[in-house]
Chains A and B, each alone.
Chain A
Amino acid sequence: MLSTNSKLSIILASALALSMFGLVKTKVYVQGLNSDIKVLEVKKEILTEEIKVLMAEWSYLNKMERLEGLSEKYLGLKKVNLADVKIVSKDLKLDVFPNACVEQVQFQQTPVKPKVSWRYKPRATLLQASTTKNSKK
């Protein structure tokens, strides 16, 4: 029969061995994850560059003159005739065109404009006044 101390020693030694095994496994696992991260970062950079190329291509393909030509050729679309533009709902009008909507503008209520009293400016008086102003400087 083993003594208590021996048993304790065996238990402790076993625990130590298990811990070492666990540590090595953890280390290898973490190192593997780090490698994966590096690989992913490289892939990410490649994909980002590809996305940039696609963005540039998308912008190029969406050039106005190209779209106009294609819509005319394949869809038969023509330019909007302003006379055909109508808004059926006042609320929709205010939502879509809030800033330039005439409903937002307050006009002065002057249905009858006052008669203008004209003031004629003889030229000699003007030139004389101007010469006086300039000579004072």
Chain B
Amino acid sequence: MIKSKIQLPRIYAVLFTVFVGYFALSLKLFSVTVLPSFFYNKSSITQSSSNLKRADIVDRNGELLAINLVTTSVYANPNFITDAADTARKLHKACGVKYQDILRKLKSKNSFVWIKRNVTPKEEQLIHDLGVPGLYFERSERRAYPHGPVFSHLLGYVGLDGNGLAGIERYFDNKLKRKEGDIELSPLQLSIDIKAQNIIRDELIRAVSEFNAKGAIGILQDVNNGEIFALVSLPDYDPHNPGKASDEELFNKATLGSYEIGSVFKAFTIAAALDSDIIKLNHVYDVDTPLSLSGFQIKDFQGKGGWLSVPQILMYSSNIGIGQIALEMGKKKQIECLKNLGLISPLEVELYEKSSPSYAPLSKWNNLSTVTVSYGNGITVSPLHAVNVMSTLVNGGKLYSPTLLKGKAQEPKEALKESTSETMRKLLRMVVRFGSGKKANVDGFFIAGKTSTSNKVVNGKYSDTLRISSFISTFPAYKPRYAMLVMLDEPKGNKDTFGFATGGWVATPVTARIVEKLALSLGILPEHNRKEEIENELFVDYNPKSEIL
């Protein structure tokens, strides 16, 4: 009994010790195995992108347009350099910086001097292998644009601190930057197509050289959703060195430029007048004599004279004819139609570099304003405005906002009737088949469009020699997919154009070459077998009888 009295407490003591021990073990095991998994989530394992500070930008097919790359820069602390001359000599050999420049820096009393920024990996290795104390490397990031100047006006550029300063880089600066807690940076996908951009740019460069032009603009837009496939403004610049570019090169003519575009507005005026039932295709106007308004005479350039039908007014680009149509419409209706087509309000596009249309104050809008605006003078718009309205004219009358992002098209507004749009497709095809746009015709693609030539204003007066010549088109006319603008700034005629530099002579051949090169890759096939049937479907009777009522 004494034995059990002594043994029981001992047993309890041992048991208690064992339980405490196991309890402690269990806690420790739990803390080492189970607990870490609560704080160690899967996403930290799959942390994919590095710590690069800015997202990539890609085109509609995923092709890279802009990317951040890690670079290394070399700096030194002169206080730790034992032999400045020897070090300078070695560094000159390794990275090519001038010996005198390095020596001057190493002999300075600063504790930090840059030797060379953004060295190549080979240079980095050579400098590392020198084993000179006092030389250090700093890793940083640099924005790279593999395609150089091709997308310069679209993408823009970044500053030394990596902040966007122009173009898409600026507009989407917040979205492109890595923020606290971001694990992945998704690339920004644009609606732009690399092929289209390159082809249009190459042809515009050729045209600028051929016609000794000051610059050029090219825009390609999908008419069915407003996505921009290409946007070129020449001259352009190297986005890696925007500081070396001139103001002219940095200026985005396509969205920020504002021009009196000219006769393209005739198509807009006729569309508006048809849509409002003010005119019909069988209406005929006298264009024999100029219109006299407020002391000014409105004339035709190489006019046909006589009586012209509505289709002929567009085909032969008659200012006198379109002026009469505009007068019939009246100021109020004209302004309402311009508003519906988005021609008197700023465009919503993902760039800060964009202009607003400018025109005479509405209180001063008289008959002369009505007539001049009807053929594209007295109102300035950006080229992107013009393309966007062209898309509306041919896509069933839907006004989309132009967009530079893929798959982000907004709901369109109804600007015109479907029947008006169908008529306009036919009229614009007539311009290319029989009118001023003949040189744009490419067999099988049924290009439709309107030529445009507008004299530039110099010192408050219209110049006789300086002009903007353009051709705005859509294809294929039987079911339009794309609208395109080709514009040349101050082209000069040559031997091939017999000295002429109007839209019909200089811009139309460029359009034809672009369509020939680009159409197949855009998914448009030349239709040769059913050519007669299609042309018949698109034909509009345009020739009025000779007798006058």
Contacts and interface: CB of A to CB of B under 8 A. Distances in A.
Interface in A61-95: 62-65, 79-80, 82, 85, 87, 93
Interface stretch (B48-56, B104-112, B461-469): B48-56
B84 interface: no
B530 interface: yes
B413 interface: no
A100 B523 contact: yes
B328 A82 contact: no
B70 interface: yes
A35 interface: no
B525 A119 contact: no
B36 A126 contact: no
A45 B50 contact: yes
B328 A118 contact: no
A26 B475 CA distance: 71
Given A41-B47, A134-B330, A105 B520 contact: no
Interface string B328-361: 1011100000000000000000000000000000
Contact of A19 (B25, B283, B286): B25
Given A37-B45, A102-B534, 13 more contacts: A12-B14, A27-B32, A52-B50, A58-B64, A59-B147, A62-B63, A99-B481, A100-B479, A119-B283, A120-B544, A126-B327, A130-B367, A134-B331
A120 B539 contact: no
B541 A121 contact: no
Contacts of B245: none
A26 B32 contact: yes
Contacts of B280: 119
Q: Is the interface of A mostly helix, strand, loop or mixed?
A: helix
Contact of A23 (B25, B51, B148): B25
Interface string A25-46: 0110010001001000100110
B88 to A, nearest CB: 30
Nearest to B19: A12
B206 interface: no
Nearest to A100: B524
A59 B64 contact: yes
Interface in B499-549: 516-517, 519-520, 523-527, 530, 533-534, 537, 539, 541, 544-545, 548-549
Contacts of B309: 118
A8 B61 CA distance: 74
Contacts of A55: 64, 67
Contacts of A120: 284, 286, 307, 544, 548-549
B179 interface: no
Contacts of B412: none
B337 to A, nearest CB: 14
A75 B517 CA distance: 19
A109 to B, nearest CB: 10
B29 A105 contact: no
Contact of B527 (A52, A80, A102, A134): A102
Contacts of B478: 102, 105, 107
Interface of A: 5, 9, 12-13, 16, 19-20, 23, 26-27, 30, 34, 37, 41, 44-45, 48-49, 52-53, 55-60, 62-65, 79-80, 82, 85, 87, 93, 96-102, 104-105, 107-108, 113, 116-123, 126-127, 129-131, 133-134, 137
19 contacts: A13-B18, A23-B32, A45-B50, A48-B49, A49-B52, A52-B70, A56-B144, A82-B444, A82-B516, A87-B525, A93-B525, A96-B525, A102-B478, A107-B534, A117-B282, A118-B544, A121-B284, A122-B286, A129-B328
Interface in B367-387: 367, 370
B324 interface: yes
B225 to A, nearest CB: 12
B195 interface: yes
Contacts of A16: 18, 21-22, 25
B452 to A, nearest CB: 25
Contact of A49 (B29, B50, B370): B50
A104 B478 CA distance: 10
A15 B11 CA distance: 17
Contact of A20 (B25, B199, B367): B25
Contact of B68 (A30, A52, A127): A52
B185 to A, nearest CB: 11
Contact of B28 (A23, A63, A118, A127): A23
B246 to A, nearest CB: 23
Contacts of A12: 14-15, 18
Given A19-B22, A30-B32, A82 B523 contact: no
B7 interface: yes
Contacts of B69: 49, 52-53, 56
Nearest to A118: B544
A80 B515 CA distance: 13
A106 to B, nearest CB: 10
Given A59-B63, A116-B282, A30 B33 contact: yes
By Cβ-Cβ distance, the 3 closest A-B pairs, closest first, are: A130-B327, A59-B146, A133-B330
Nearest to A63: B147
Contacts of B144: 56
Contacts of A119: 280, 282-284
A133 B365 CA distance: 13
Nearest to A27: B32
